[in-house]
Amino acid sequence: MIDSSTKKPLCVSTAGDASPYIMLPVEQVDEVRALLDAHDISYWVDEHAISIDGEPEVTVVNLGRDVDPDAVQSILDGAKSK
């Protein structure tokens, strides 16, 4: 799946001690949620979104600690953006 703002693939981040997460444009949250729901992947969406220098707002989809980030990345890579 391609990030609508950067035109680069969405990536699952595993940096630091936090659970895996996906940073994405707010406009793609519903599409990613539907994809994660379809694969029974546990997640929650941050309630805050940010915009820097007038760019589109971005937010974070946090994946559960028991979620395999490589499997989610594979799902994202196989999905086509609307």
Domain 12-78 has CATH 2.10.240: no
pLDDT at residue number 82:
62
The mean per-residue pLDDT over the stretch 6-14 comes to 95
Tell me the percentage of the chain whose pLDDT exceeds 70: 98
- CA–CA gap between residue 10 and residue 54 (Å, rounded): 21
Q: Where are the domains of the chain?
A: 12-78
Distance set, CA 27 to CA 23, 60, 65, 68, 69 (Å): 12, 12, 25, 25, 22
pTM of the model: 0.91
**Crossing angle of helices 29-38 and 69-78, rounded to 10°:** 110
Dist CA 51 CA 43 (whole Å):
22
Q: How far apart are CA 4 and CA 10, in angstroms?
A: 9
pLDDT tens readout for residues 52-82: 888 889 999 999 989 999 999 999 999 986 6
Quote the strand ranges of 1-82, DSSP E.
Answer: 12-13, 21-25, 43-45, 58-63
Reply yes or no on whether the pLDDT at 15 is more than 90: no
